[in-house]
Amino acid sequence: MTDNRITSAALDPASPITPQIYAHLRDAIIRNRLSPGDRISETEIARSWSVSRQPVREAFIRLAGEGLLAVLPQRGTIVTRISYSDVLNARFLREAIEADIARILAQRPDPALIAELRAQLEAQEAVASSSPQDFIGLDEQFHRTLADAAGKRGAWRLIEGLKSQMDRVRFLSLGHFPVVKLVSQHRAIVDAIEQGDMSAANAAVRTHLREVLIDLPQIQAARPEFFDVPDGEIPEPVNAPMQGGKDA
């Protein structure tokens, strides 16, 4: 099934085609313009963008590797459901990596970094009430900036490849996540880094990334058709949000 939910954006002929097709398809799935069970066709997508099937096939393979597409006998290629277990696993890994990133940054607070992060917080506050979708992009920028500043760009690329299912939940839950609260949690991270408090920085990141555990069961209950839950049961959320400033 190919329509303007996928191919409304033009491809840049001067840039590699496969990464562009991958990015557009991934965006359509992450933002839930394509729903679980929707069929997509290599031939139709290639025709819509006037490209050969090879770059489309390569993009499909990459998306299948992220668990976003599945090739089913007699049914073709379909968008997968959101794996509940993968969401929890991605959150767990993000917490482990990003909490350590915050500790690294708090060891030697960089005034230039703090100024950049404060400016990002202002931008987040400006859209917190009016444009949740814009906040998600700013949230990505915030966490990527922390990783880059800690010299952990490779770790961030690893996180990006693991959190596809978590990102789908974020867009599915627009209006559920307390955006103002998330901005406040970002500020707590920045404050702890600026103060050189490694323990508080670690704890602030962990609290922030555990927020999804509060909302995930309600989101799944509201949109069960989007989720794949092991054995038909909701796994018990683990590691409830932290209180105080001690490391987990």
- Note the helical H segments in the chain: 4-7, 17-30, 42-49, 53-65, 84-107, 111-127, 132-149, 153-162, 164-172, 179-194, 198-209, 211-222
Using a cut of 0.75, tell me whether the model's pTM lies above it: yes
Q: Rounded to whole angstroms, how far apart are CA atoms 204 and 247? A: 9
- What CATH number is associated with residue 137? 1.20.120.530
- What CATH number is associated with residue 49? 1.10.10.10
What total number of domains does the chain contain? 2
- Which are the contacts of 74, defined by CB distance < 8 A and separation ≥ 6? none
For the chain, 248 residues long, give each residue's pLDDT as a single digit of tens: 445 677 667 898 899 999 999 999 999 999 889 999 999 999 999 999 999 999 999 999 999 998 999 988 777 899 999 999 899 999 999 999 999 999 999 999 999 999 999 999 999 999 987 787 888 889 999 999 999 999 999 999 888 878 888 889 988 887 666 788 999 999 999 999 999 999 999 999 999 999 888 888 888 888 899 999 876 555 555 444 454 444 44
Q: State which residues form the domain around 19.
A: 4-79
Within 13 Å and on the Cβ side, how many CA atoms surround 212? 25
On whether both 114 and 183 belong to a single domain, the answer is yes
Q: Rounded to whole angstroms, how far apart are CA atoms 56 and 164? A: 19
